[in-house]
Amino acid sequence: MARTLIDAGHETWCVGGAVRDALLGLAHLDWDLATAATPAQVRRLFARTIPVGLEFGTVGVLDREGRMHEVTTFRRDVKTDGRHAVVEFGASLDEDLARRDFTINAIAYDPIGRRLHDPFDGQGDLRRGVVRAVGAAEARMREDRLRALRAIRFAARFDFAIEQATWIAIVDSAPHLTRLSPERVKQELEKTMEQVQAPSVALRRWRDSGAFHALIPALSDVPDALLRAVDCVPRPGPAGRPLRKPLRFALLFSGLDGQQVERQLRALRFSNLDIASVSGLVDRWHRLGSALTTTLQSGTVPPDAELRRLAANVGRLHVGGFLRLCAARWAGNEAVRPAQWRALHRRLLGIAFRDPIAIADLAIDGDDLRQIGVQPGPAFGRILQGLLEHVLIDPTRNDRAILLSQARTLAASEA
């Protein structure tokens, strides 16, 4: 791809995250190119292109495997407003690298001549493990406030330090982060949860820089213990483990109540589905997890009947997520012994998937109630609930004859 451009007489370099990741020894699939060719010239040279962001000079080019690579014309910023830049083409490679955010992201590689071009010593910073703004940090963050959040994410992702002037510029940026759209903020938080092995480092910096204070005030003073709990859930990874991301968010927000969580996530434009799953996790933690913590801390493990009631309240399909959230919250709690929660984990899962814990599991149903003369209405639900209570105490009572007789008793007391 680079050769096609070069053979046509256009200077072309690999740039951005792929060069950085290759130098770090990490795999990175999409190689982005920066070229002297204009977007129109790029589109003429390749059969399959996608106009990704023509006003910024970016054309997507599909390779033989159908993977898209971004080919971007060398550009310089002519105007910035804290997020959006107006760019101008006809720039040199050096000008293009100078507008990039961090030195580690501003290294170019010539794939034909096999040499690096690294005017800001990005390689030195990769070796030293430092995230450093290209040029004057304060001015660069003022051009684009998103860079403050990006710096925090890259540092946590590679376990790098943040160079001092860059950190000061991040702290100075914090009050201005409200300029960013909620979608952008959400995207940065999500990328942090997805990409970073131990997000607590990044989240602590969101807190300590004042970014939380500006963007999610309810997390201004989020305690370290909760941030460490987030680290206990592995990142989602390419295999796509759908529960991991909501679990990480639920732990971050688990100091707030379910309604507050819902409000915060809505403000950040999370989807209804995500809001329901995160606030549901948090809500179950407050309703049921906290009490369980107290029980375990007292050195006891609840008896089966109590665990059945717990499983019924949590809901069979939510027991797995609930247990993982509890485990993460307990990881930093010395009063809850690992052996204790492993036993609890095993028993609760067993109960949830073996014992009758929902009305649908009962050996009789609504038709049976009608047949013994119970009229449909509010009493109907109360009787079924009463039968479930009966069965939660002792699952051997989930027997047609026993339940019918119990139902008659309950119906009589309703009358």
CB of residue 17 vs Mg ion: minimum separation in angstroms?
4
Choose among ligand ATP, Mg ion, none what residue 144 binds, the Cβ cut-off being 5 to 8 Å by kind: ligand ATP
Half-sphere exposure of 255 (CA within 13 A, CB side): 15
Residue 147 binds ligand ATP, judged by CB under 6 A:
yes
Please report, as ranges, the residues that interact with Mg ion according to CB under 5 A: 17
Q: Which part of the chain contacts ligand ATP (CB under 6 A), choosing from 141-149, 304-312, 329-337, 391-399?
A: 141-149
Torsion sign over Cα 132, 135, 139, 143: negative
124: its two tokens: 């030195």
Question: What is the closest distance, in whole angstroms, from the C-beta atom of residue 277 to ligand ATP in the complex?
Answer: 24
With CB atoms as reference, the residue minimizing the distance to ligand ATP is 17
| Of 244, 105, 265, nearest in space to 185 by CA | 265
Selected from 108, 146, 189, 392, the binder of ligand ATP by CB under 6 A is 146
Closest by CA position to 199, among listed 233, 169, 170, 174: 233
Nearer to Mg ion among residue 10 and residue 69 (C-beta): 69
Q: Examine residue 35 and tell whether it contacts ligand ATP (CB under 6 A).
A: no
Q: Which does 105 bind (CB under 5 to 8 A by kind): ligand ATP, Mg ion, none?
A: ligand ATP
Closest approach of ligand ATP to the CB of residue 155, in Å: 13
**Distance between CA atoms of residues 160 and 106, nearest Å:** 16
φ, ψ of residue 15 to 5 degrees: the values are: -140, 170
| 408, 402 contact by CB (below 8 A) | no
Structure tokens of 219? 């997390």
* C-alpha distance from residue 288 to each of 37, 106, 135, 314, 363 (Å): 61, 50, 52, 8, 27
Q: Is residue 166 part of the contact set for ligand ATP (CB under 6 A)?
A: no
* Token pair for 229: 């709990």
3-state secondary structure at position 336: coil
- Of 150, 235, 241, 152, nearest to 196 by C-alpha is 235
Nearer to ligand ATP, 17 or 111 (CB): 17
Contacts of 177 (CB under 8 A, 6+ apart): 145, 148, 149, 185, 211, 214, 215
CB 181 within 8 A of CB 144: no
CB of 187 to Mg ion, least distance (A): 13
Closest residue to Mg ion using C-beta atoms: 17
Shortest Å, Cβ 339 to Mg ion: 44
Residue 300 φ/ψ, nearest 5 degrees: -110, 160
Binding mask 94-133 for ligand ATP (x = CB under 6 A): ------xx---xx---------------------------
- The listed partner (Mg ion, ligand ATP, none) that binds 357, CB under 5 to 8 Å by sort, is none
Q: Residue 100 binds which one of ligand ATP, Mg ion, none, with CB within 5 to 8 A depending on kind?
A: ligand ATP
Q: Which is nearer to Mg ion, 17 or 111 (CB)?
A: 17
Tokens at 224, concatenated: 């370290």
Min. distance of Cβ 7 from ligand ATP in angstroms? 25
Residues at the site binding ligand ATP, with contacts judged by CB under 6 A: 16-17, 100-101, 105-106, 144, 146-147
